[in-house]
Structure 1
Amino acid sequence: MTAGSIPEDETFSPDRPSPARMYDYFLHGTDNFPVDREAADRVIDRLGVTLTRSVVWENRHFLGRVVRHLAAEHGIRQFIDVGAGLPSVDNTHQAAHSVAPEAKVLYVDNDPVVAAHGERLLKGAGDRARTLTADLRDPESILDSPITRELIDLTQPVALLFIAVFHFIPSSEDPQGLMARYRERLAPGSFAALSHLCTADSPESERRLMTETYKNSPAPMVYRTTEEIGALMDGFDLIDPGLVPPGLWRPEPGQEESTRRFLSAVGRLS
């Protein structure tokens, strides 16, 4: 399946909640529809606003720390944020440009609303940040896109960011194989960053609620075990502190949160 052939009913419908737009709502964004807010509010009502928002912000803070670390400590100047959602709050390109103003950032999501609104939100970034409508499940549609080729040089190290997105890929679609297809296209010295919902510290009642809430969206939700999440990073050498909750990955002062609903890791390709 290519980006141009993703069925419309899989990527956009005003009557179906979108994970990208629900995430925007959780982050206090405004680029979402009533159906997204209704679905998100059901989660908040059942889990509580504190837990819901802490999980979302923990992932967002993790993203920023990863990007700044890779730019500052490893010289990464190219970032592809896959399943990015709307770049509206504490953006990847802002984190990258705070360290390296010349860094290039590509935002990828299969929801066309992301591209439509994203280009407006990225005006201040000039030619250093772009959006692409494509699907995580089709690595070639992302890596071989003319938009990607114009912005990203895949012969040089790049950071692939998969923040809170692989748990929307069911086992039937071979998530480990998908990650391998991305890995095979990367230059040595590249990185992958991942955060993923984990069964270990998520109560069964909570997992049922989240699965039920997202089942009618274009991307149903799948929880995985610690071992299954770790296997997604096969082929990458994990950097310290390894596979940990996002809030415990190199926390900055004031960001030592840890809901333990997620696991995260950053790995380098030798």
Structure 2
Amino acid sequence: MSETAPRGINPAIPHSARVYDYWLGGKDNFAADRDVAEQTMAAVPGIRESARDNRAFLGRAVQFLIDQGVRQFLDLGTGIPTQGNTHEVAQAAAPEARVVYVDNDPIVMTHARALLTSTPEGVTRYIEADIRRPRAILEHPDTRETLDFSRPIGLMMVAILMHVPDEDDPAALVRAFAAAVPPGSFLVLSHLTLDFLPEEHARRYLAATKDQAMRRTPRGRSEVAAYFDGLELAEPGLVSAPHWRDEPLFDDPPAWMYAGVGRKG
């Protein structure tokens, strides 16, 4: 059965945000996205549970930042709106919280503008942009109107850098964004890794994904830890996502993601 899509969207090309939406139980995805999601799930166990654990980490990290007094967030790589978005968690605890969402997929932004509504006290804005161009995001009028760069900002880079290939130097992107925010700001980051997996599972994952149109780059502990250079890691440091300040959602959870929160001094 054919599927219709908004103008400018090719439903035959899978997209990471829509694959993630499928794993989270959402409905904003196409057959191509579901095929990639199912192929990956069939090849290696626990990837869907890992997506849900990663989403839960985002919620805990946002609440942690709220507890530290942060009231503004720059969310890089928003993804399809689903339960527990950054502004929902932040504004539930602090209605005045201000959030700028960034994504480079037009369908993501269409859904974001329709579904991510702010509290009356707070502000929520949406920018269609590529995180590989930090200056365009940081100097965007909506960013500057929404966020006060003299006060701490939460930089949300949750499950986004794995979509940035090495040739685009993801570490340099992190440094650019971190340099732009004031002391007292935080980096919230999670990243795909194969470090925790049995060797056979890692081989199966790489074999299953090497020919996919939508590529993801898993990285090891030293590479992920380097993103936090110059920042003070909050306890418990850099750990698997389900173990960051909580008990795992699932028994014997699959550990596919590193997660950490770092503070700029």
Q: Same fold (TM over 0.5)?
A: yes
Whether the 8 Å CA contact 2:192–2:257 is kept in 1: the answer is: yes
Normalized per residue, the structure richer in helix is: 1
CA distance in 1, matches of 2:205, 2:251: 24
- 2:11 is aligned to 14
CA distance in 2, matches of 1:81, 1:257: 30
> Is 1:31 matched up with 2:28?
yes
In structure 2, what residue type is equivalent to 1:122?
L
Deviations 1:207-258 (A, max 9, x none): 3145326x413xx211111111100111111111101001111116867874
SS in 2 for 1:184: helix
- Aligned ranges 1:124-135 → 2 under 5 Å: 125=119, 128-135=123-130
Question: RMSD across aligned C-alpha pairs, in angstroms?
Answer: 2.0
Change beyond 3 A, Cα 1:239–1:17 = same
CA distance in 2, matches of 1:96, 1:138: 26
> Is 1:76 matched up with 2:73?
no
> Is 1:87 matched up with 2:84?
no
Structure 1 residue 40, shift from structure 2 partner = 1.2
Match of 1:109 among 103, 106, 110: 103
Structure 1 residue 30, shift from structure 2 partner = 1.4
Whether the 8 Å CA contact 1:195–1:265 is kept in 2: the answer is: yes
Whether the 8 Å CA contact 1:22–1:37 is kept in 2: the answer is: yes
- 2:217 is aligned to 222
Whether the 8 Å CA contact 2:43–2:205 is kept in 1: the answer is: no
Change beyond 3 A, Cα 1:12–1:177 = farther
Identical positions, percent = 38
Change beyond 3 A, Cα 1:79–1:257 = farther
Change beyond 3 A, Cα 1:46–1:83 = same
SS in 2 for 1:176: helix
Aligned length: 254
> Is 1:191 matched up with 2:189?
no
Whether the 8 Å CA contact 2:44–2:205 is kept in 1: the answer is: no
Structure 1 residue 154, shift from structure 2 partner = 1.6
Match of 2:234 among 236, 239, 247: 239
TM-score, structure 1 as length reference: 0.88
In structure 1, what residue type is equivalent to 2:262?
G
Unmatched runs of 5 consecutive residues or more in structure 2:
1-7
Structure 1 residue 61, shift from structure 2 partner = 0.3
Structure 1 residue 155, shift from structure 2 partner = 1.9
Change beyond 3 A, Cα 1:150–1:84 = same
- 2:264 is aligned to 269
TM-score, structure 2 as length reference: 0.89
